[in-house]
């Protein structure tokens, strides 16, 4: 008997060695591929990262092993198949402490976020539908986190890792009251309207932005304002406003005929955008202003629309894919807190995902 064990006492049981934290990657498109490339780069720099145990897309589930690039290539070359998400979710029997990286834009995957968190699995996501979709799902994510202590890393969902969500949540945690948040929240729409001067059709710029990875796989998600709607919901909920999806009023730039087309027919039909946007550009110039797609929420609700802003307006500044966001609160009542930086692109989104992974691993 141990010297520490007295009458009626059992010696302490030896503690099991903690299981190695593993990482699973869902989504092997532009962001997923950029994630693998940056993961390798950070490994070469000596950063301690959880091993990638498996990766999956809608066509395949693969054990990653040491050759991530080979597994990525196999996954992307896999033939299409009708697959249920359950096969992904259970593929490696995720354990508490593991990290699930969602690099998809799938609502089916987002529906599993609360379930993974309830198991104690940490979720890191670029998928905006967790907190940027149904309010009930967003609340379920928060409730699961509170029960298990699992982390939910979503800095890539708004501003591609800019210190926007972190700043907003920090203000709320410090007792500040958020009055309004307003800004250019879509990196793809920022890029389009920073470059649109009438010298090229708007549709040509959309095709270029999609090719560069600035838009969602279906650019209508950006052009419809749906991407901005999701970001406004994420920010508003982080600020303590339990907004429903229908409470965000959004102007769509997509003509009805284009909106009804199947995804594989969109690229050829993009010129349907050109006449209306040319007229909006002419109107902005007649007023001495510039076009910017602006989202805003306050206590009265949320809205997003294409607006004509004076060229000197704070939200008209920036370049490229820059997001530019103004936060007004008790602390920043007279002069808003401004946060600006690149807000789109697979590489910076992947970097934001890995920042969250590193925070969890630490």
Out of 119, 231, 237, 328, which one is annotated catalytic? 231
| Interstrand relation of 248-250 and 301-310 (parallel, antiparallel or unpaired) | parallel
**What would the two tokens of residue 289 be?**
């202003």
Rounded distance between C-alpha atoms, residue 26 and residue 36, angstroms: 11
DSSP 252: -
> What is the sign of the dihedral through the CA atoms of 20, 26, 28 and 32?
negative
Report, in this order, helix, strand and coil percent for the chain, each rounded to 5. Answer: 45, 20, 40
DSSP 272: G
Phi first, then psi, for residue 320 (nearest 5°) are 60, -130
User: 30: closest CA among 91, 72, 63?
Assistant: 72
DSSP 43: H
**What would the two tokens of residue 359 be?**
């925070």
Helices (H), ranges, 79-178: 85-90, 107-110, 113-118, 129-132, 135-148, 165-173
Is residue 52 within 8 A of residue 25, CB to CB? The reply is: yes
Is residue 235 within 8 A of residue 165, CB to CB? The reply is: yes
Active-site residue, 231 included: yes
Give catalytic residue positions.
231
């Amino acid at each position: 008997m141990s010297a520490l064990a007295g009458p009626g006492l059992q010696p302490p049981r030896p503690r099991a060695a903690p299981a190695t934290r593993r990482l699973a990657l869902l989504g092997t498109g532009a962001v997923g591929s950029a994630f693998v490339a940056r993961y390798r780069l950070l490994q070469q720099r000596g950063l301690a990262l959880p091993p990638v145990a498996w990766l999956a897309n809608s066509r395949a589930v693969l054990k990653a092993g040491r050759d991530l690039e080979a597994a990525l290539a196999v996954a992307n070359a896999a033939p299409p198949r009708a697959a249920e998400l359950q096969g992904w979710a259970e593929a490696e029997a995720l354990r508490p402490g593991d990290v699930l990286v969602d690099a998809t834009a799938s609502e089916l995957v987002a529906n599993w976020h609360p379930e993974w968190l309830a198991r104690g699995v940490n979720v890191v996501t670029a998928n905006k539908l967790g907190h940027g979709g149904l309010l009930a799902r967003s609340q379920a994510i928060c409730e699961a986190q509170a029960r298990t202590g699992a982390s939910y890393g979503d800095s890539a969902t708004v501003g591609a890792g800019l210190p926007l969500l972190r700043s907003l949540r920090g203000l709320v945690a410090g007792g500040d009251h958020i009055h309004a948040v307003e800004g250019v929240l879509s990196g793809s729409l920022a890029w389009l309207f920073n470059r649109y001067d009438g010298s090229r059709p708007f549709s040509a710029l959309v095709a270029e932005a999609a090719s560069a990875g600035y838009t969602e796989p279906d650019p209508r998600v950006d052009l419809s304002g749906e991407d901005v709607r999701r970001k406004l919901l994420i920010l508003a909920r982080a600020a303590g406003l339990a907004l429903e999806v229908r409470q965000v009023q959004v102007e769509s730039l997509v003509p009805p005929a284009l909106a009804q087309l199947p995804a594989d027919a969109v690229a050829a039909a993009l010129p349907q955008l050109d006449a209306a946007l040319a007229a909006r550009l002419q109107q902005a110039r007649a007023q001495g202003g510039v076009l910017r797609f602006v989202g805003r929420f306050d206590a009265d609700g949320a809205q997003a629309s294409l607006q004509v802003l004076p060229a000197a307006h704070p939200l008209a500044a920036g370049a490229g894919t820059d997001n530019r966001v103004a936060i007004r609160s008790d602390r920043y009542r007279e002069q808003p807190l401004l946060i600006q930086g690149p807000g789109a692109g697979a590489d910076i989104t992947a970097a934001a995902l890995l920042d969250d992974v590193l925070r969890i691993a630490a």
